[in-house]
Structure 1
Amino acid sequence: MSVVLVTGGGRGIGRGIALRLARDGHDIALVDVNAEGIESVAAEVREIGAKATTFVTDVGDRDQVFAAVDHAHEALGGFDVIINNAGIAQVAPIDDVRPADVAKIWSVNVDGVLWGIQAAAAKFQALGQSGKIINASSIAGHDGFALLGVYSATKFAVRALTQAAAKEYAAHGITVNAYCPGVVGTDMWVDIDKRFAELTGAAEGETYDKYVGGIALGRAQTPEDVAAFVSYLAGPDSDYMTGQAVLIDGGLVYR
């Protein structure tokens, strides 16, 4: 069994990824700023039959991320994959964005990924082994969306980090890829929809329905849809793939 660390593992896509990878036979280290969420998911992982451990971490803090990786290795007896999944959304017109807004979302969505890349690569190299780094980008990392300008910028940045890290770590046998979800039926999209309603006057649910209506496969995405692709990235079938940020959105953004 391999050991996988999932940041933002307490709910939504992170929970879906953790449960799928546990079913695949991986042991799971769950990292989140919310202790209650990851403890609940850890119980679900153990019910599946995999080992689980938890570590409360602000992914924007480099030292905490390195400590989380050390904890995963010590608690589960190995370290093979990191899923830099933690992220937050921010809906605002560009005119309204202020330094504190940028600092907050950048800390989680970009710094958190960067520290996760560094910590995982350092651990893989210290152990003298290959490994996999998997980052959360978005359809907003391929298209900039109105009222999601800074959020989109963070997700474009994740794509850049993914490409650069893939080139830097390839010689060490470390692959780096990203997954780019679309409109996922999670609490994050509930919050995005409410904020769009406040800014545009749309009824609650209208923005969500508009975006879902543009999906070729005709339905909103589930965390399980995302987790199925992450399962591929975390497994041996993706060993020859690196530096990619793949759209998994049901047919909404095309590249």
Structure 2
Amino acid sequence: MGKLDGKVAMVTGGGQGIGRAIVELLALNDAIVVIADYQLENSQEAAKEIGGRVSAKKVDVRSSEQVQSVIEGIVHDHGRLDIIVNNAGISTMDTVVNSKEEDWDQTFNVNAKGVYLCCKYGAKQMIDQGGYGKIINISSQAGKNGYKYLGSYSASKHAVLGLTKVLALELADYQINVNAVCPGIVETDMKRNERKRGGELRGVSALDVEAEDHSQVPLGRTATPEDVAQAVLFLASSGSDYITGESVNVTGGMTMN
């Protein structure tokens, strides 16, 4: 797979969960990594703990101005931008008929618009510096399947996959690879909150939901954030130079399409 040899990477939502695991692995493989996160203090602490050439900048991925500013700051500090990992995301849970319009808008603004803005301005930078780059969008197996109570989340993650395919075509002439990773059930704080909320909606305990989660995975366990990070590392490396427009499942066999 090879090292990343000082490539400059931006990871949105990189201060915790899957994002932090991605930052750690990219840094371990010689990348310069900037955590671009709304929670700056948390991200700065993560950067300090990870060490190496890891830093943090505050950004609200819903804001065009802030996304442009953070990318300009990265280029100012490091001279270029080679890898973008669009990881920032949120979820809300309810039936579609009982869902709140503001929850739908918020989920799409972060999960879909945020990816669009980072891709738009990040790809412009990659083109301006002569082409070649890696864009990795974190979608979900919910971007390929429907799941009860995850209407806005699932729809937003489907949107990410559509955008990934279009960008892969548009950026191919510049040798910029655009791919997605689709995690399954990953042990993060967000998943634990979903289990609690999902249990409330179904009238069962969070522990019941957790047991059901494990029973659905053919490989017999749920994913760690590090499992997802390994797939991202491959797509960020030169080993994936002939792969674009793909969505890589990291689901333990739950999703096979």
Q: TM over 0.5, yes or no?
A: yes
| 1:177, distance to aligned residue in structure 2 (A) | 0.2
* 1:173-216 residue CA offsets vs partner (Å, 9 max, x unmatched): 11100000011100000110110121111112211221221111
Q: Distance in 2 between matches of 1:101 and 1:133?
A: 27
> TM-score if structure 2 supplies the norm length?
0.95
| 1:79, distance to aligned residue in structure 2 (A) | 1.1
* 1:52-84 residue CA offsets vs partner (Å, 9 max, x unmatched): 221111111111111111112222332100000
2:34 aligns to what?
A: 29
Q: Distance in 2 between matches of 1:247 and 1:228?
A: 12
1:213 aligns to what?
A: 215
2:130 aligns to what?
A: 128
1:239 aligns to what?
A: 241
* 1:104-125 residue CA offsets vs partner (Å, 9 max, x unmatched): 0000000000001101111111
Contact 1:8 1:85 in 2 (8 A): yes
1:8 counterpart letter in structure 2? G
Q: Distance in 2 between matches of 1:217 and 1:254?
A: 13
Q: Distance in 2 between matches of 1:45 and 1:71?
A: 21
Runs of 4+ in structure 1 displaced over 3 angstroms? none
Q: Distance in 2 between matches of 1:178 and 1:44?
A: 28
Q: Distance in 1 between matches of 2:92 and 2:150?
A: 6
Which residues in structure 2 correspond to 1:1-255 (within 5 Å)?
1-46=6-51, 50-255=52-257
| 1:90, distance to aligned residue in structure 2 (A) | 1.3
Say which SS state the counterpart of residue 179 (structure 1) adopts. strand
Unpaired runs of at least 5, structure 1: none
Q: Distance in 1 between matches of 2:18 and 2:117?
A: 20
Contact 2:14 2:87 in 1 (8 A): yes
2:14 counterpart letter in structure 1? G
2:44 counterpart letter in structure 1? E
Contact 1:16 1:223 in 2 (8 A): yes
2:47 counterpart letter in structure 1? A
RMSD value over aligned CA atoms? Answer: 1.0
The alignment of Structure 1 onto Structure 2 pairs a total of residues equal to: 252
Unpaired runs of at least 5, structure 2: 1-5
Contact 1:53 1:76 in 2 (8 A): no
Contact 1:94 1:149 in 2 (8 A): yes
Say which SS state the counterpart of residue 9 (structure 1) adopts. coil
Q: Distance in 2 between matches of 1:205 and 1:163?
A: 37
> TM-score if structure 1 supplies the norm length?
0.96
2:184 counterpart letter in structure 1? G
